[in-house]
Amino acid sequence: MNLSSHLSLHIFLAPKQQIKQERTYTMLDVWSWIYELPNSDEWDKSDSPPVIELASSGSSQESTTRSIQLRAERTSASDTDALVNFSVCLQGFEHPNKAQTTLWVSDTCPLSSPFLPLLLQLLQEIISDSPTVRNSTCPRSQLQKLKPDPVSWIMDSHSPESLSSFFNLVFLTRLFWLCVCDAPSEVGSFYFHSLLAPNIEALSCTDVPVLRTFLVTVGVDAELYFMRALGYMSAKWLLLKEMSVGLQTLTPAQNLGFSYATEAHGFWVLKGYSPVMGMKLTRSNGPRIQFPTIELNNSVLRYALAHQQLEAVIQLEYSVGFYDGFLHVNARVDNIRLHVAKLGFSQSDDVGYGDERHFPSRIRVWVGPEVGATYVAGVSLGRSTSNEEKEVEVQKIVKGSFIKPKAPRVKATARTSTRTRTKNWRWEQDAEGNAAVFDAVLHDNVTGLEVATWKPVTGGGKPGHDFPNRYNGSSRPFTKTGGMVFAGDEYGEGVGWRLSKEMEGSVLKWRIGGEVWVSYFPNEVNSSYFETRCVEWCDEVDLPLIPGKLSP
């Protein structure tokens, strides 16, 4: 796929007048349309193909209407069932007199059950076209095709209403790659304004419960590729919206991204994905409306910073102890892995800004019983507030002269040195009600200031803790790829809860959440811009209080 001519900024800069004239007429509901297609007895091959207009718009000055359509065309029947093909067609682009331009054609599907083969094809094509990350250990060429059995199980175990939102999200994502990456630039602009904008809430994934089941079922490698495809699409939308091209008046979706939690094998795991531009801006020395005006003429750096996604894995280990009169639940941090992925299609996409990225500057994790629970007697923390001692070394030197001068001379000097051992990250524990809170804060070793809450002094200037070359050297606070990993050896102290004995044998709902701050300071470029953004996730996991299972 040749993307070089489509991924530069100018592809999205459609004339403002044209965008203001466009009016949206349709909303995306492909699932319902396919579900209501006529059956084999009612649909003759000579009939006109059913068509749904995914997006349609025109203007008072134009005699033609531009639209993106989905068509279903009956093909020859097999021995047992009629067959159908689906195609995405363009109307009124480039050559208004031309009836239609076909952009995509599906594989042949059985008319009686088209959803499974169509969904498998859409998912496979999204994963195959998704952006890559530098130094990835799982190239797409090594990723096997999705197996039909897990997807078939998902479709059999969920209601049509739940499947509808997931299918429409997948179809909207597939259309992004077709219209923005494989079609002329005017089609991409039309897609953003007339198709994605009315359905932008789908990217928040709040009404897509099947997505969680899908990600758990297909495995972590396919999960990463799928979520990076969604992240890339979200980044394009957010970048376009904040570049003054006529989309600011449209209501944006909040919290573009997705998170989910699972319980298995003694682990509580919370996974979260968020495009950096979709995170809440908490600190900045630039305008709060438009994405960083680092240098107005340096659009390449702006473009590079926009295509980043925070990927988080918060993994807690837990166990349950059974005693006379009470139960004891223990939990500790096993792994916290944060990575800011740079989404692109080749190393040349960085254009010399490969080390300019946001980095984690604070992590706050909480876990505990549901709000209002009365079966918890108390929570015990495993770490005291740090009260570090300083090691002070004092050295006194006295110098004198034994020559017999007219006046005796004595010279004395004193030297004092202080040695302290500091770490970039400071771990703390706290409690909020019955929830235990784990907090990790990044500090500047030189000034001692917290990075996530740093504010510039009056008069501006470069931050004092800008961590130059922060991804190189033995004392760097991040991995070479710009991420961060905390393991049990870094923060091994656990927390505990005492529960009523009456809860034995039940499965409780336990809440787990995370709040992550990421900051940006120039690394190798000459700029004074900085910012900090924040995202919050929260979900529920199971806590089985069953003897013999996960006992310490």
Establish if 524 belongs to a structural domain.
Answer: yes
- The pLDDT, as a whole number, for residue 418 is 57
What is residue 550's predicted lDDT score, i.e. its pLDDT? 59
In the prediction, which pLDDT does 15 show?
35
Q: How many domains does the chain have?
A: 1
**Nearest CA-CA partner of 202 in 238, 169, 230:** 169
User: Six-digit token pair at 466?
Assistant: 């800008």
Please report, as a single letter, which amino acid is at residue 400. G
Per mean pLDDT, which range of 87-91, 168-172, 451-455 is the poorest?
Answer: 451-455
Q: Is the pLDDT of residue 340 over 50?
A: yes
Q: What is the per-residue pLDDT for 305?
A: 82
Tokens of 256: 């573009």
Average pLDDT over residues 275-291: 75
% of the chain with per-residue pLDDT over 90 = 38
More confident site: 326 or 203: 326
SS3 18: helix
| pLDDT for the residue 10 | 36
* DSSP secondary structure of 137-204: SS-GGGSPPPPHHHHHHHHHSS-HHHHHHHHHHHHHHHHHIIIIISS-HHHHHHIIIIIIGGGGGGGG
Per-residue pLDDT tens digits for 46-84: 678 899 999 887 654 555 688 899 999 988 766 667 899
Task: Identify the residue with better confidence: 421 or 493.
Answer: 493
pLDDT of 327 above 70: yes
Tell me which of 352 and 159 has the higher pLDDT: 159
| CA-wise closest residue to 361 among 452, 277, 453, 463 | 452
Q: How far is 366 from 440, CA to CA, in rounded Å?
A: 12
pLDDT at residue 13, rounded to an integer: 36
Q: Is residue 246 part of a domain?
A: no
Q: List all residues 6 or more positions away from 191 whose beta carbon is below 8 Å from its beta carbon.
A: 55, 68, 175, 176, 179, 180
List the Cα angle 535/540/546 in 5-degree steps.
150
pLDDT tier, 453 (very low <50, low <70, confident <90, very high otherwise): confident
Q: Cα–Cα distance between 267 and 369 in angstroms, integer?
A: 16
Select from 506, 551, 548, 538 the least CA-distant residue to 375. Answer: 506
- In this predicted structure, the answer to whether residue 475 has a pLDDT above a threshold of 70 is no
Q: What percent of the chain has pLDDT over 70?
A: 73
> What is the predicted pLDDT for the residue at 66?
85
Say if CB 516 and CB 362 are below 8 A apart: yes
Tell which wins on pLDDT, 540 or 392: 540
pLDDT at 88: 95
- Tell me what the mean pLDDT of segment 131-153 comes to: 74
pLDDT at res. 28:
74
pLDDT digits (tens, 9 = 90+) for 171-208: 999 999 999 888 888 898 899 988 998 888 888 887 78
DSSP-assigned states of every residue in 367-402: EEEPTT--SEEEEE-S-PPP-PPPEEEEEEEEEE--
What mean pLDDT value characterizes the chain? 79
In the predicted model, is pLDDT for residue 99 greater than 50? yes
Structural domain of residue 444, as residue ranges?
A: 263-387+424-552
Name which residue leads in pLDDT, 382 or 418. Answer: 382
Per-residue pLDDT, 26: 42
Cβ atoms of 250 and 502 within 8 Å: the answer is no
Residue closest to 424 by CA, chosen among 406, 442, 446: 442
Residue 142 has what pLDDT? 59
What confidence tens digit (pLDDT) does each residue in 15-43 have? 333 333 333 334 578 999 999 898 877 88
80 in any annotated domain: no
CA 511 to chain CA centroid, Å, is 21
**pLDDT given at position 154:** 93
The answer on pLDDT for 482 being more than 60 is yes
Decide if pLDDT at 403 tops 60.
no
What pLDDT does residue 115 have?
Answer: 95
pLDDT reported for residue 443: 84
Residue 516 reports pLDDT greater than 70: yes
Answer yes or no: is 45 within a domain: no
The pLDDT of residue 435 is above 50: yes
- Within a domain: 23: no
The answer to whether residue 477 sits within a structural domain is: yes
Q: What are phi and psi of 144, to 5 degrees?
A: -70, 160
- Report pTM: 0.85
Q: How confident is the model at residue 5 (pLDDT cuts 50, 70, 90)?
A: very low
pLDDT band at 512 (very low <50, low <70, confident <90, very high): very high
